[in-house]
Structure 1
């Protein structure tokens, strides 16, 4: 219990205490109780009486007096909530652990036609299996939310299946660091990350969108008419952040060859010593045949293939993501020409102020990742 409260408590703050309390009092996400307590103490330090503090802050006078006194006795620690015993737990630690263990299993392991648990389903199954006494879904939700393991969350991923993954991926990561075969690239050598974004749809909304209004977001019509699809080929200069692109009716060797010609016949690439082209294993540029074809057409061009399932190491995919989010998603296009114009116009706009991506993933990071997968048996299982 508090000792006798008195309005005679004089609050004198150190510079550090004033800084902490001022930050709390002005913080946008500070708990409201902490904000009020900080304002009470700051006002008290400025010589304001308890009655006036109560009116200014919006609390009763006893509340202002209490927090003023607690600060005088315990300083900043006095503004914390005191421990409370709370209601005794209804469920035993073993029951809680049994439910958490159940949540970490797959429903299919219990012959249930589900891919994931809900708290209601966990409650029903746990009670039926005798793991716990009747418990509400909300209680189970609190148990799981407080645990370090979040079994309801998932993330899709593809683990490397190529036994030579590191051998094939490392040269690409070196090129991002401006090295090739252990030698620094010269000023007249360039690195291009290239790929195609296929099946881009020209969707025409059945009703024009409505602009945002107070209390109402911008609204985009859900129904649309299909205006066909096209492919967008892009070559991204990794170190100069310039995109060279073109659209085509569909993907294939011919349009990719046109993209290569578009880039390799303009400066600075036309007179470059070497231009490295990083690509995945798509049909437009797959295999040794694509390497030979590019070398024959442009002797200074070097085609470098990523391993299978390694598009996440291809920097042009980052640009494709930006294009999709900023120029295509929720778009309203009258036809394919309208879509193509939007894509190329965005490319021009992007090139005006683009800066290289802050790529920091090196072959050392890759080797550590592959070693971890190998040590936990993932790669051995995949093989």
Structure 2
């Protein structure tokens, strides 16, 4: 019985390039790699039997893919659509579960704060949307549309009067400008705040250092050794930190921090020293500004607007302290906490560089414009925020 002649294969430059990329690509699926190699070897004029030996597949497989490419080109190397088994759920059922996920549980009378995939599966069955449903199926459906009801993000509306005028002073000071006038060489900008309630947690078992294929281990059980407040003043342009620990926050501890900074050079003889602070109780309002100026005539208190303490650069330093000094919290007593913070200050000041602050007044205008557009589109949210 005569054997059918092998289908002749000829490749264009583009087809050869794509086949080589598929045949030798590290991320190419194994089946696609084999099919590409079959076509490339066939284009070299090799017989089907030899191609089968080199690729390690059956002779009939070589014939099939060689014929498919000869008839359809590169699209012929992809798998054909297969009917598979009938779908277990209709499109309407899938859409109903997704719609349920996009509702707040409280709106449906369910005593939950957020949906999880198991809860959604149980609720869909309880509502008779589907007779049975698994949490993994719900997760797969939600993943297709990037719906994550178990997550949440918070926001806050700007309610401070004259927000822009108050906010623009802070980024202007960071670029050494105040009220449109450049700062002189003998003028400084200090960012100050308190980090409250740093606890001393004495672990019941010693912390174990990391080892091969093992992370550092910190015992969960601890004894409480009290808490203290860490007050810090950060020179924005010199990247120098002045800190102190206190039993609690308040006017007197804050003024002690101010005295610690302003009693040394170059601040004692400076023309002006701007103190950027938020609206915490120990330095809030005009009374705090008058109190500071009375104690140090060259000190100028600059408040960030309400709900804008993120403009204060010392918050960045506090995040460094949290990551590198406080966490994981394992201290024998408060004295050890204070010693660690003081030693870290010296270490930080030895190598610190000013933060690369990029939020300018132009960015502030863009932010306010976006909020104005959002308020115009959702006036009910704005009225609720102002009422609060």
Place the TM-score, normalised by the shorter chain, in its bin. 0.7 to 0.9
Q: Distance in 1 between matches of 2:250 and 2:358?
A: 32
CA deviations over 1:182-212 (Å, ceiling 9, x no partner): 2333333322211011111111111111223
Distance 1:248 1:271 in 2: 27
1:365 aligns with 2:363: no
* 2-structure distance, mates of 1:347, 1:24: 51
Alignment pair present for 1:192 and 2:210? no
**What is the match of residue 145 of structure 2?**
147
Q: What RMSD, in angstroms, separates the aligned Cα atoms of the two structures?
A: 3.9
SS of residue in 1 equivalent to 2:193:
strand
Shift in alpha-carbon separation, 1:289–1:146, aligned structure 2, 3 A: same
- Label 1:32 to 1:296 Cα distance change in 2 as closer, same or farther (>3 A): farther
Task: Choose 131-140 or 13-22, whichever is displaced more.
Answer: 13-22
Alignment match, 1:329: 327
Distance 1:33 1:277 in 2: 64
| Contact 1:161 1:379 (8 Å CA) reproduced | no
2: CA distance, partners of 1:5 / 1:195: 81
Secondary structure of residue in 2 paired with 1:263: helix
Residue equivalent to 1:281: 279
Q: Distance in 1 between matches of 2:16 and 2:171?
A: 50
Summarize the alignment of residues 39-118 of structure 1 with structure 2, pairs less than 5 Å apart: 86-118=84-116
Report deviation, 1:119.
2.0
2:60, 2:254 → 1: CA distance? 74
Find the counterpart in structure 2 of residue 237 from structure 1: 235
Helix, strand or coil at the partner of 1:259: helix
Partners of 1:126 and 1:271 in 2: CA distance: 71
C-alpha displacement of 1:305: 0.9
* Residues 185 and 198 of structure 1, relative CA distance in 2, 3 Å threshold: same
User: Equivalents in 2 of 1:22, 1:242: separation in Å?
Assistant: 58
Q: Deviation at 1:250?
A: 1.5
Equivalent residue, structure 1, for 2:208: 210
How far apart, CA to CA, are the structure 1 residues paired with 2:356 and 2:286? 31
TM-score, normalised to structure 2, is 0.79
**Partners in 1 of 2:358 and 2:12 — Cα distance?**
51
Q: Which runs of 5+ in 1 are unaligned?
A: none
Q: For 1:379, which of 365, 373, 382 is the aligned residue?
A: 382
Q: 1:301 to 1:139 in 2, by over 3 A?
A: same
TM-score where L is the length of structure 1: 0.80
Give the number of the structure whose alpha-carbon radius of gyration is greater: 2
Equivalents in 1 of 2:267, 2:236: separation in Å? 13
Tell me, yes or no, if the aligned pair for 1:6 and 1:65 is still in contact at 8 Å: no
Correspondence list, 1:268-347, <5 A: 268-347=266-345
For these two proteins, the number of residue pairs brought into alignment is: 370
CA contact 2:228–2:334 (8 Å) conserved in 1: yes
Match of 2:47 in 1: none
* TM-aligned CA deviation for residue 143 of structure 1: 0.8
Corresponding residue number in structure 2 for 1:119: 117
Matched-pair contact (CA < 8 Å) for 1:295–1:301? yes
CA displacement at 1:102 relative to structure 2: 0.8
Q: C-alpha separation between the residues in 2 aligned to 1:22 and 1:353?
A: 51
Structure 2 residues without counterparts, runs of 5 or longer: 45-49
Q: Is 2:239–2:353's contact at 8 Å kept on the other side of the alignment?
A: yes
Partner of 2:256: 258
Is contact 2:116-2:149 (8 Å) kept? no
The structural deviation recorded for 1:170 is 2.3
Give the 3 Å change call, closer, same or farther, for CA 214–8 of structure 1 in structure 2.
Answer: farther
